[in-house]
Amino acid sequence: MNYQTTLEYAKAEDANDQLAYLRNQFHIPKDKNGNNWLYFTGNSLGLQPKNTQKYIQQELDDWANYGVEGHFEAKNPWLSYHEFLTENMAKIVGAKPLEVVVMNTLTTNLHLLMVSFYQPTKAKYKIVIESDAFPSDRYAVQSQLKFHGVDVADGLIEWSPRAGEELLNIEDLETIVAEQGDEIALLLIGGLNYYTGQYLDIKKIAEIGHAKNCMVGIDLAHGAGNISPELHDSGVDFAAWCTYKYLNAGPGSLGGLFVHEKHAHNKDLPRFSGWWNHNKETRFNMRQPFDVMPGAEGWQLSNPPILSMAAIKASLDMFAEVGMEALREKSEKLTGYFEYLINEMDSDDIKIITPSNPKERGCQLSLQVKNADKRLHQKLTENNIITDWREPDVIRCAPVPMYNSFEDVYRMVNVLQTLL
Ligand SMILES: Cc1ncc(COP(=O)(O)O)c(C=O)c1O
């Protein structure tokens, strides 16, 4: 890339950007004086598409007009509403529609998946996570171990970066599994690490785990809508993610769940059930013996919250229009530009800990701040630059290809340089 340090260059890139029009389709938050924020926290909560209100209003209107009949009469009948989301969601994560469903929230889904895919025996009962796994994943795994009567200190294996390094090395996972694989039941790994922004080779992780008959699950909270994980081809057994980050579906919005096709018709898998994973043809006969649905839908429990799903539909329709390929292409360029400008600054006070290979990261760069000086983050915020601080010493900053511009990135680094 022939990146340049000038504002003119950033403006020219925006003028040539085929996706620049998308920015206008989002609400960009403003400060008290009406100035746009430079919003770099799509890794935490994505911005609101302007269409979301319309999608939710449609369901409110149908509820007002039809009451319970909305299950059949609504413009998008509620009975099968979740099915409107499946195909587009499957495309985003590289899965077959049979393998994907939208339901519940991320941690809930991880638990439901572990009910099925963490079946410890006396000999094979350990779970591997990354040493800096997102706390909710760690707590979920610890509670699963305890639920099955496994001592956490014995049953939890942590895959850590090497001494003095921040990033994980896949060879170390190979060593862990080679040495302890006979005792390991499950690898549950964050595919794109929330802290470092490192995107791991999930296909390789699946191969490593499966070579020793371990189940492999991936948390894609920071991956969905950011990178293209090709879940089906990766061969992982299951995955779960949220929709409030790069999928722009609103705070606390529902999660996505993937179960690989190879498990789609296995009715013997242990699982929790409710009426919504019962065969939809006979669901309302109410007295049938339980008959589980094939595929990811076979993990549903309850009839879904339509208002929340409407926000997801608004977002997924945008993703379907643009496609992950075009988004990813812009994203690599935009984050590459961000990295270039930071490197050109040549400051001793910050260090990028995210991998520099675009194939090993999404849009986020994690800036490690010397002496963990949190004031830098505060000052950025005072300057209308919204990033987030993660203990102990990182500012996470995610230029999102749907709504961030090259000029945003230029201005952000410009302010950063002045502050430093
Ligand atoms: C990697 C990861 N796992 C789990 C969670 C928790 O998600 P939820 O509150 O939707 O269960 C998050 C939330 O940001 C996350 O980033």
The pLDDT of residue 196 is above 90: yes
Q: What is the pLDDT of residues 14-50, one digit of tens each?
A: 999 999 999 999 999 998 899 999 999 999 999 999 9
**Percent of the chain whose predicted confidence (pLDDT) is above 70:** 100
CA-110 nearest atom, ligand 1: 11
User: Quick one: pLDDT band at residue 275, thresholds 50, 70, 90?
Assistant: very high
The pLDDT of residue 285 is above 90: no
Average pLDDT over residues 373-401: 95
Structure tokens at 169: 């090395």
| Structural contact between residues 7 and 410, judged by C-beta atoms closer than 8 angstroms | yes
The pLDDT of residue 286 is above 90: no
Report residues whose beta carbon is within 6 angstroms of any ligand 1 atom: 105-107, 134, 136-137, 190, 194, 219, 221-222, 242
Local structure of 134: helix, strand or coil: coil
Which residue's alpha carbon is at the smallest distance from atom 7 of ligand 1? 106
Going from the Cα of 96 to the center of ligand 1, the distance in angstroms, rounded, reads: 24
Instruction: Give the per-residue pLDDT at 363.
Output: 98
Instruction: Give the per-residue pLDDT at 236.
Output: 98
In the numeric block, the tokens 């400051």 are attached to: 347
Residue 154, burial from CB neighbour count under 10 angstroms (0-12, 13-18, 19+): exposed
What is the residue-averaged pLDDT of the chain? 97
Which residue's alpha carbon is at the smallest distance from atom 4 of ligand 1? 136
Q: What is the pLDDT of residues 74-116, one digit of tens each?
A: 999 999 999 999 999 999 999 999 999 999 999 999 999 999 9
CA-255 nearest atom, ligand 1: 10
Sign of CA dihedral 75, 76, 80, 81: negative
Average pLDDT over residues 162-191: 98
User: Quick one: pLDDT band at residue 200, thresholds 50, 70, 90?
Assistant: very high
What share of residues in the chain are helix, strand, coil (percent, to 5)? 45, 15, 40
Instruction: Give the per-residue pLDDT at 32.
Output: 87
User: Quick one: pLDDT band at residue 205, thresholds 50, 70, 90?
Assistant: very high
Going from the Cα of 284 to the center of ligand 1, the distance in angstroms, rounded, reads: 34
Going from the Cα of 70 to the center of ligand 1, the distance in angstroms, rounded, reads: 32
Q: What is the pLDDT of residues 117-158, one digit of tens each?
A: 999 999 999 999 999 999 999 999 999 999 999 999 999 999
Average pLDDT over residues 216-239: 98
Going from the Cα of 136 to the center of ligand 1, the distance in angstroms, rounded, reads: 6
Going from the Cα of 141 to the center of ligand 1, the distance in angstroms, rounded, reads: 13
Going from the Cα of 106 to the center of ligand 1, the distance in angstroms, rounded, reads: 6
Give the predicted TM-score (pTM) of the model. Answer: 0.97
Instruction: Give the per-residue pLDDT at 288.
Output: 80
Cα angle: 319, vertex 322, 327; to 5 degrees: 90
Which residue's alpha carbon is at the smallest distance from atom 8 of ligand 1? 106
The pLDDT of residue 287 is above 90: no
Instruction: Give the per-residue pLDDT at 372.
Output: 82
